[in-house]
Amino acid sequence: MKQKTFALRGNIFYSTDSKNIKAHEKSYLVISDGKVEGVFETLPEKFSGIEIKDYGEDLIMPGMTDLHVHAPQFPFRGLGMDLELLDWLNTYTFPEEKKYKNLEYAGQVYDAFTEALTASPTTRAVIFSSIHVPATKILMDKLEASGLITYVGKVNMDRNSPEYLTETTEQSLRDTEIFINEAKNYRRTRPILTPRFTPSCSDELMKGLGELKKKYNLPVQSHLSENPSEVEWVRELCPDSKNYADTYDRYGLLDEKTIMAHCVFLKDDEFELMAERKAFIAHCPQSNMNLASGVAPVKRFLLRGINVGLGTDLAAGASLSMFRAVADAVGVSKLRWRFINNEQKPLTFNEAFYMATMGGGKFFGAVGSFLPGYEADVIVMPERNSGVRREHLLERLEQSIYLSDENVKLTAKYVKGEKIF
Amino acid sequence: MKQKTFALRGNIFYSTDSKNIKAHEKSYLVISDGKVEGVFETLPEKFSGIEIKDYGEDLIMPGMTDLHVHAPQFPFRGLGMDLELLDWLNTYTFPEEKKYKNLEYAGQVYDAFTEALTASPTTRAVIFSSIHVPATKILMDKLEASGLITYVGKVNMDRNSPEYLTETTEQSLRDTEIFINEAKNYRRTRPILTPRFTPSCSDELMKGLGELKKKYNLPVQSHLSENPSEVEWVRELCPDSKNYADTYDRYGLLDEKTIMAHCVFLKDDEFELMAERKAFIAHCPQSNMNLASGVAPVKRFLLRGINVGLGTDLAAGASLSMFRAVADAVGVSKLRWRFINNEQKPLTFNEAFYMATMGGGKFFGAVGSFLPGYEADVIVMPERNSGVRREHLLERLEQSIYLSDENVKLTAKYVKGEKIF
């Protein structure tokens, strides 16, 4: 679709690499055909006469990419953040994900989720749905209509899960292929293969997903090395694999179109495998704190040149805000420096901002910066300084408190040059 | 001042101890003469005819007590959160605190600070000012007018500080006595002795403050055992003290009217001393993360019955919101459990809520609960789900991002039964 050339004016910020943020006061971001032409302090002659939207003193920056978020967990974010992993899964996650057999419920939640995501600093996201194809299609319909650009995955689970969330291997693969074919009708909403994680996917299922990946040339998202007991469990489940990362890699599920969430406890050979495969790591600082997972060695990822972005990991992260993810990434890196490895410096703000924009954006191509040629995902905000009700009154208190810090009100959002609001 | 009896209606929550929160749906909180009469699901006969303010579905809970906050650091909150302690102090804290010689500047900042504090969930606070008596008086004027109930301390520093923030011992004590006498004119704003911390206060100054404490029967606030290098430094500075806590205790500065911020690395004998003296600990989870201090053993404080509340520690904590302090206290306790001591369970939400309300409120007396007889500090919020501009553009971005999560809009606030808004 041909778009005209136009400019946004304001205080403009963007990363040029993991260390540097460029800042231009009262400048022009020129966009043409959905791509960045450049940022100019004075509008060049050749652009004279183009439409200029002046945002005054507002901040203009690249839209953020949420590399890891579970849409069906939206209703219970901010709940059970004082539980340990297994209690949290059994109390909230699994019972909630079961509900997405009900399409009316799915529609209600995915409306609220899409609305919140659209209002947030996120312009691109890589999203887990549930095992249910019809509900996943509802989610994709709503995301497509929002104007955001996303990957969405129907989840695969054929073992070690509650009965009501366990598919047979055949059904899981058959449903995935249906899902892939139905996803062809969307422009902005793309399918991604989504084995939940090794403990809930048999070798046969992984093998089948590897074949689907090849057949349809699809990206993959999953979880890797989130917590010590999980790592140990995978070792027991997959005695033939060299390590946890290999349980995906040996079925062709680990390449430059793969996102692995967490990677808190990678062993050296896994670390090198992630680098060689050019796979992406979704660092989820708030989730890793809330579930007592630990703190991933993000500085080391950056120094080694591993692709790394940030994820909110809703609802293990209570906040859908990528601004919180930026602040939390810096915060937990301080505790890592203090407690785990004082030879790895904490993250800088610039590094965290880079991961939230350019780092994660790279999964979508030239996304997350205002360097010339980048796709024009833009958020505008003033300087300065969830939708399904709980039965239980105490939960309503807890949730209200956890969610009350998420009310940033953006002035405008553009995705690939198209104005969303 | 005699107030009439009235009731607030809504969904009511309050701690009864560190483990339990009572929840009453659509109930009545009856207040008489600024104190809680009780919470009733049906209004008792004897209260028939009293004024009832119906807040519908809103949540009604005790106002929160911020046990540790630095008012002059308000302008730079959300900045330098990726720096280490000394860089942060030298880049932001000390240069900022110097500015409070300028009363126009002080007035501008303390207006913004008081406005933000009033809008926040906090109804009581214990506040560090700077070394400057005139600026401290401006802060007290504004706080007095706000209706909040606070303690405010002119800071004492006579060694190991930048020249522009170093008082002579005599001047420091003289100014403190002036400050104490001027503070007599306030109704809601009370003076508190505020030796910054042992490294910046000579033995002679501590001794003089101990005498002022006795003479005027005053409370005390300071910092204790925030980070390992500081602990080591105090050991070198005070070879005659048994431990860091003793550097205060030996001058009579540690009792049930003392608040010590942080207490991350208390040794066993200091831990016992805090318990015996019934002193209060202000746990500041976000600050302890941001400055890479560590995570205090809060569960152990609670189990031992030590008085403990929460502090935002603005601006080492970027957020002025006690709601964030509640969530952060739970969050960092998860990492403590993972990395430091997996025999101490993480904090529960109930424990964190207790500390923010009843735990810290106890420093002010019967404050922070709706048990009968408690002073009626109340906040009402809808269910659901800083003011001086920086020169540097990149700082404006960083600050905007850190502060954008703080926009909770309360419906109403009462302090000791008086309606603030």
The per-residue pLDDT for range A383-396, each reduced to its tens digit, is 765 445 555 566 66
pLDDT on residue A81: 85
Q: Which of B346, B398, B405 sits opposite A406 (nearest CB)?
A: B405
Nearest Cα of chain B lies from the Cα of A201 at a distance, in angstroms, of 27
Q: Distance between CA atoms of A375 and B213, rounded to whole angstroms?
A: 64
Most confident of A256-270, B90-104, B401-415: A256-270
Does B421 contact chain A (CB < 8 Å)? no
Average pLDDT over residues A292-302: 95
Q: Which of B289, B323, B401 sits opposite A334 (nearest CB)?
A: B289
H/E run at residue A324: helix A322-339
Q: What is the mean pLDDT of chain A?
A: 93
Instruction: Kindly write down the DSSP assignment for every residue of B333-370, as one continuous string.
Output: HHHHHHHT-TTSPPPPHHHHHHIIIIIHHGGGSSBSS-
pLDDT on residue A383: 78
Residue of A nearest to B292 (CA): A334
A-interface mutation test, from B286, B400, B402, B408, most A Cβ less than 10 A away: B400
Asked if residue B71 lies in contact with residue B139, where contact means CB atoms within 8 angstroms, the answer is yes
Residue-wise pLDDT tens digits, B218-236? 999 999 999 999 999 999 9
Residue A294 to residue B13, Cβ atoms within 8 A: no
| A172: confidence class by pLDDT, cuts 50, 70, 90 | very high
pLDDT on residue A218: 98
Helix (H, G, I), strand (E, B) or coil at B128: strand
Does B334 contact chain A (CB < 8 Å)? yes
- Does the pLDDT value for residue B275 go beyond 80? yes
Residue A346 to residue B321, Cβ atoms within 8 A: no
Furthest CA-CA distance within chain B: 66
Residue A381 to residue B402, Cβ atoms within 8 A: no
Residue A335 to residue B295, Cβ atoms within 8 A: yes
Residue B59 to residue A396, Cβ atoms within 8 A: yes
Q: Which of A21, A335, A385 sits opposite B399 (nearest CB)?
A: A385
Average pLDDT over residues A181-205: 97
Q: Is ipTM over 0.85?
A: yes
Asked if residue A164 lies in contact with residue A135, where contact means CB atoms within 8 angstroms, the answer is no
A2-25 in b/e form (b: 16+ CB < 10 A) is eeeebbbbbbbbbbeebeebebbe
Q: Distance between CA atoms of B322 and B284, rounded to whole angstroms?
A: 10
pLDDT on residue A70: 97
Q: Which of B286, B292, B331 sits opposite A337 (nearest CB)?
A: B292
Residue of A nearest to B290 (CA): A331
β-strand partners of A149: A124
Place of tokens 């709601």: B323
Pick from B180, B181, B183, B171: nearest CA to B143: B183
Q: What is the mean pLDDT of chain B?
A: 93
Asked if residue A260 lies in contact with residue A247, where contact means CB atoms within 8 angstroms, the answer is no
Residue A330 to residue B385, Cβ atoms within 8 A: no
Interface of B with A in 184-213 (CB under 8 A): none
Q: Distance between CA atoms of A127 and A41, rounded to whole angstroms?
A: 37
Residue A384 to residue B386, Cβ atoms within 8 A: yes
Q: Are strands A149-153 and B21-32 parallel, antiparallel or unpaired?
A: unpaired
* Three-state helix/strand/coil letters over B377-390: CEEEECCCCCCCCC
Tokens of B99: 């500015």
pLDDT on residue A92: 86
H helix runs in B74-132, sequence order:
85-88, 94-98, 103-119
- Does the pLDDT value for residue B356 go beyond 50? yes
Q: Distance between CA atoms of A96 and A290, rounded to whole angstroms?
A: 19
Does the bond joining B376 to the residue before it have cis omega, within 30 degrees of 0? Answer: no
Backbone φ and ψ of A15, nearest 5°: -75, 145
Angle between helices B322-339 and A322-339 (to 10 degrees): 40
Average pLDDT over residues B155-179: 97
Residue-wise pLDDT tens digits, A110-156? 999 999 999 999 999 999 999 999 999 999 999 999 999 999 999 99
Instruction: Kindly write down the DSSP assignment for every residue of A182-240, as one continuous string.
Output: HGGG-SSEEE-BEE--GGGS-HHHHHHHHHHHHHHT--EEEEE--SHHHHHHHHHH-TT
β-strand partners of B414: B378, B419
pLDDT on residue B1: 45
Residue of A nearest to B348 (CA): A82
Whole-number Cα distances in Å, A404 to A48, A401, B121, B322, B340: 44, 5, 11, 11, 30
Amino acid at A402: Y
Residue of A nearest to B227 (CA): A338
Average pLDDT over residues A66-83: 90
Residue-wise pLDDT tens digits, B106-122? 999 999 999 999 999 99
Pick from A178, A76, A179: nearest CA to A129: A179
Which residues, at least 6 apart from A195, have a Cβ–Cβ distance to it below 8 Å? A155, A156, A201, A205, A206, A209, A220, A222, A248, A253
Cα dihedral A130/A131/A134/A140 (nearest 10): 40
Tokens of B70: 């630095």
Q: Which of A295, A321, A403 sits opposite B385 (nearest CB)?
A: A403
β-strand partners of B27: B10
Tokens of B277: 């003296």
Average pLDDT over residues B384-405: 58
Place of tokens 């805090």: B274
Interface of B with A in 284-303 (CB under 8 A): 286, 289-295
Q: Which of A23, A338, A401 sits opposite B394 (nearest CB)?
A: A23
Please give the angle made by the CA atoms of B161, B167 and B173, to the nearest 5 degrees: 130
Asked if residue B150 lies in contact with residue B126, where contact means CB atoms within 8 angstroms, the answer is yes
Interface of B with A in 7-36 (CB under 8 A): 11, 13, 21, 23, 25
Q: Terminal CA-to-CA distance of chain B, rounded, Å?
A: 19
Q: Distance between CA atoms of A66 and A282, rounded to whole angstroms?
A: 8
Q: Distance between CA atoms of B393 and B259, rounded to whole angstroms?
A: 37
> What beta strand segments (E) does A245-353 contain?
258-262, 280-283, 307-310
pLDDT on residue B77: 83
| A91: confidence class by pLDDT, cuts 50, 70, 90 | confident
Does B41 contact chain A (CB < 8 Å)? no
Place of tokens 């993480």: B346
Nearest Cα of chain A lies from the Cα of B320 at a distance, in angstroms, of 11
Number of cross-chain residue pairs from A and B with Cβ atoms under 8 Å apart: 173
pLDDT on residue A249: 98
| A161: confidence class by pLDDT, cuts 50, 70, 90 | very high
* % of chain A residues with pLDDT over 90: 81
Which residues, at least 6 apart from A69, have a Cβ–Cβ distance to it below 8 Å? A117, A125, A126, A127, A128, A311, A312, A313, A314, A320
Q: Distance between CA atoms of B137 and B141, rounded to whole angstroms?
A: 6
pLDDT on residue B386: 41
Q: Which of B59, B393, B404 sits opposite A323 (nearest CB)?
A: B404
Nearest Cα of chain A lies from the Cα of B58 at a distance, in angstroms, of 10
Does B85 contact chain A (CB < 8 Å)? no
- Does the pLDDT value for residue B143 go beyond 60? yes
Does A412 contact chain B (CB < 8 Å)? no
Residue A294 to residue B348, Cβ atoms within 8 A: no
Structure-model confidence comparison of residues B79 and B138, the more confident one: B138
H/E run at residue B60: strand B51-62
Q: Distance between CA atoms of B140 and B137, rounded to whole angstroms?
A: 5
Q: Distance between CA atoms of B123 and B363, rounded to whole angstroms?
A: 13
Tokens of B247: 């550097």
Interface of B with A in 376-405 (CB under 8 A): 381, 383-387, 393-394, 396-405
β-strand partners of B415: B418
Helix (H, G, I), strand (E, B) or coil at A365: coil
Average pLDDT over residues B344-366: 95
Q: Which residues of A touch B348 (CB under 8 A)?
A: 82
Residue A346 to residue B400, Cβ atoms within 8 A: no
- Does the pLDDT value for residue B388 go beyond 70? no
| A278: confidence class by pLDDT, cuts 50, 70, 90 | very high
Average pLDDT over residues A328-350: 91
Instruction: Kindly write down the DSSP assignment for every residue of B202-240, as one continuous string.
Output: -HHHHHHHHHHHHHHT--EEEEE--SHHHHHHHHHH-TT
Residue A335 to residue B406, Cβ atoms within 8 A: no
Q: How many residues does chain B have?
A: 421
Does A40 contact chain B (CB < 8 Å)? no
B89-122 in b/e form (b: 16+ CB < 10 A) is beebbeebbbbbeeeebbeebbebbbebbbbbbb
Q: Which of A59, A293, A404 sits opposite B400 (nearest CB)?
A: A59
Q: Distance between CA atoms of A197 and A262, rounded to whole angstroms?
A: 12
- Does the pLDDT value for residue B178 go beyond 50? yes
pLDDT on residue A393: 64
In chain A, what are the domains? 6-62+369-419 (2.30.40.10), 64-364 (3.20.20.140)
β-strand partners of A156: A195
Q: Distance between CA atoms of B368 and B299, rounded to whole angstroms?
A: 20
- Does the pLDDT value for residue B249 go beyond 70? yes
Within 10 angstroms of residue A229's Cβ, the number of other Cβ atoms is: 10
Nearest Cα of chain A lies from the Cα of B207 at a distance, in angstroms, of 34
Pick from B110, B155, B152, B113: nearest CA to B132: B155
* % of chain B residues with pLDDT over 90: 81
Q: Distance between CA atoms of A421 and A418, rounded to whole angstroms?
A: 9
Q: Which residues of B touch A292 (CB under 8 A)?
A: 334-335, 337-338, 346
Does the bond joining B356 to the residue before it have cis omega, within 30 degrees of 0? Answer: no
Helix (H, G, I), strand (E, B) or coil at B46: helix
pLDDT on residue B3: 62
Q: Distance between CA atoms of B129 and B143, rounded to whole angstroms?
A: 12
Mean pLDDT lowest among A241-245, B185-189, B348-352: B348-352
Does A346 contact chain B (CB < 8 Å)? yes
Helix (H, G, I), strand (E, B) or coil at B193: strand
Average pLDDT over residues A394-413: 70
